[in-house]
Amino acid sequence: MRIALAQLNFHIGNFEENTQKIINHINLSKNEGVDLVVFPELAVCGYPPLDFLEFNDFIARCNHAISEIAQACIGVAAIVGAPTVNPRSEGKNLFNSAYFFENGVVKQIVHKTLLPNYDVFDEYRYFEPNSEFKCVPFMGKKIALTICEDLWDVDDDKMYQRWPMDELIQQQPDFIINIAASPFSENHAENRKRVLHRTASHYKLPVFYVNHAGAQTELIFDGGSLVMNRDGNVVNELDYFREDFRHFDLDWVKTAKFVPFAAESAFSSHPEVTISRVYSALILGIRDYFRKMGFAKAILGLSGGIDSAVVYALAIEALGPENVLGVMLPSQYSSDHSINDSVKLAENLSGRVVEVPIQNTVNTLLDQLNPHFENKPAGLTEENVQARIRAVMLMALSNKHGYILLNTSNKSEASVGYGTLYGDMCGGLSVIGDVYKTRVYQLAEYINRNQEIIPQNILTKAPSAELRPDQKDSDSLPEYDVLDQVLFQYIELRKGPAEIIAQGFDSALVNRILKLVNTNEYKRYQTPPVLRVTPKAFGTGRRMPIVGKYLS
């Protein structure tokens, strides 16, 4: 039996494109002598469809696509993820399902049992969990067909009460198929293999696993589909961060020995590997955001600092130098090196850059407002005006020429609210909003791994917003290496103040940082979607009250 894994990039709600892509790969499979081709979870509509699932019209279009796909399955069988309607009046209206097609018809439908409802996942919002377990018979074999999370609840902190494989194993299946929509985070590849290894080796069954490849706004699907033998060793894995299609003979998989592949060995947990992965994920995230929004060109402000330099380099890699415009927007507080370093950066990347001074506009605006300032001393207000005038200019260029503005805030700044709402916090997409400042430096070093792209001076100068004379980030914030450690403990590990202080951090500092994080929730509520590269990014995966009064 020959089984193909179709690791594809779907577009949410784009039924025409998604259906055509599925049918093309069914036809391709037939031509290559494949018996069964497997597509990812909710492939028909794209993942995550979110509240589109609540529209009957959207479900009707899913069903229409399913009919078309069924008709294509002559001479080859297929498994495709799609929502199905729950026929019972009790429970949620839908199931998250896997269709099994054979001989031009729907032969069986399997529903997802374990519905993730944490971090970025809201599957209980839409779906009823499965409660009936039946293997899929095919060519004399029995398939244990599961959907993503169905294989995942294996940690010590079990979130669910039942375990679908324990039900299916009683029917003596021959192998496991898992169709997934499992978004990237920096160590997700290892976790995925660990989880699938435990399943394969525990049940002594080969596993065929297929994931999405492609980004949907903040979520980046990294592919990494794979085949495991019954000892839980990876015998083949598909490419990461791009579409891929491969097929495997079941008998070969059963007996294949584990051979470490180049791709496999590259996925250890070395810090450099993590950074290279984050880099690839961000590139895919930018590229798919633009393509799926129907845009080609990006604009961003170049301050002379490391954040905008890194985003500029990422954007050029993702979209091409001809499609990225860097704008230098100096004020009276901008240092000469800000301009020189940005120009050098652009030269290194053959990138486009223009200069638009802001001081005249800032002065005109402040003159106009001055009668209403009641002689209060200049300060934060005037700093914010500079950042906001820059945003108005960037958005004007964006509107005039059809650019999308890229946001360049990093996760450290976003955490403590060190940024101006409607100023440097603007943009259609936050590229490095899930990357702490200390890791932005690592990204810059990675970008410079073969030659100097980001000028050395940008890497070595002290971070500054340049909104007042001789300003340094360290005037307002702790040094980033300390700040980032405390933020990681609080945001990623959800430690309380006492636990963090017990690790040796200064208690006043910890309390100040946690208070800054919590009182700046109102700013993050209005910031652009953030490309998610850690297990806890700002955005839909982290939901905090704005009027809360906890640690604040």
Residues 271-290 that bind its own copies (CB under 8 A): 288-289
CB of 458 to its own copies, least distance (A): 24
**Rounded to whole angstroms, what are the CA distances from 88 to 92, 185, 352?**
9, 37, 59
The whole-angstrom distance between residue 275's C-alpha and the CA centroid of its chain comes to 15
Packing angle, helices 56-72 and 15-31, rounded to 10: 20
Among 28, 50, 74, 106, binds its own copies (CB under 8 A): 50
Q: Which stretch binds its own copies (CB under 8 A): 237-245, 355-363, 435-443, 458-466?
A: 355-363
Q: What whole-number distance in Å separates Cα of residue 96 and Cα of residue 284?
A: 26
| Strand pairing report for 219-222 and 213-216 | antiparallel
Q: Which residues of 288-317 are buried (b: 16+ CB within 10 A; e: fewer)?
A: bbbbbeebebbbbbbbbbbbbbbbbbbbbb
Site membership for its own copies, residue 156 (CB under 8 A): yes
Site membership for its own copies, residue 438 (CB under 8 A): no
Which entry of 73, 148, 149, 413 is annotated as an active-site residue?
148
Among 401, 456, 457, 492, binds its own copies (CB under 8 A): 401
Is 41 known to be catalytic? Answer: yes
DSSP single-letter state for residue 448: T
Among 20, 32, 54, 166, binds its own copies (CB under 8 A): 54
CB of 79 to its own copies, least distance (A): 24
- Draw the binding track, 82-121, toward its own copies (x: CB under 8 A; -: no contact): -------xxxxx-----------------------xx---
Site membership for its own copies, residue 57 (CB under 8 A): yes
Q: What whole-number distance in Å separates Cα of residue 108 and Cα of residue 435?
A: 44
Which entry of 112, 193, 495, 536 is annotated as an active-site residue?
112
Phi-psi region of 209 (alpha: psi -120 to 50; beta: other; left: phi over 0): beta
Is 112 known to be catalytic? Answer: yes
139 or 544, CB closer to its own copies? Answer: 544
Among 322, 369, 452, 476, binds its own copies (CB under 8 A): 369
Packing angle, helices 271-293 and 437-447, rounded to 10: 90
Question: Tokens 């050098």 sit at which residue?
Answer: 344
Among 269, 399, 457, 503, binds its own copies (CB under 8 A): 399
**Rounded to whole angstroms, what are the CA distances from 466 to 81, 322, 336, 383, 487?**
51, 29, 11, 9, 24
The whole-angstrom distance between residue 401's C-alpha and the CA centroid of its chain comes to 28
268 or 399, CB closer to its own copies? Answer: 399
Contact positions with its own copies (CB under 8 A) in 6-25: 11-15, 17
Site membership for its own copies, residue 375 (CB under 8 A): no
Site membership for its own copies, residue 360 (CB under 8 A): yes
Site membership for its own copies, residue 132 (CB under 8 A): no
Sign of CA dihedral 386, 391, 396, 397: positive
Site membership for its own copies, residue 301 (CB under 8 A): no
Q: What whole-number distance in Å separates Cα of residue 273 and Cα of residue 382?
A: 42
Q: How does DSSP assign 537-552, residue by residue?
A: -SBTTB---SS--S--
Site membership for its own copies, residue 368 (CB under 8 A): yes
Question: Tokens 């839908």 sit at which residue?
Answer: 94
CB of 544 to its own copies, least distance (A): 6
Site membership for its own copies, residue 492 (CB under 8 A): no
Contact positions with its own copies (CB under 8 A) in 213-232: 216-217
Among 262, 462, 498, 508, binds its own copies (CB under 8 A): 498
Q: Which stretch binds its own copies (CB under 8 A): 32-40, 252-260, 356-364, 479-487?
A: 356-364
Contact positions with its own copies (CB under 8 A) in 248-267: none
107 or 468, CB closer to its own copies? Answer: 468
Q: What whole-number distance in Å separates Cα of residue 84 and Cα of residue 64?
A: 12
CB 525 within 8 A of CB 538: no
Site membership for its own copies, residue 124 (CB under 8 A): yes
Is 452 known to be catalytic? Answer: no
Residues acting as catalytic residues: 41, 112, 148
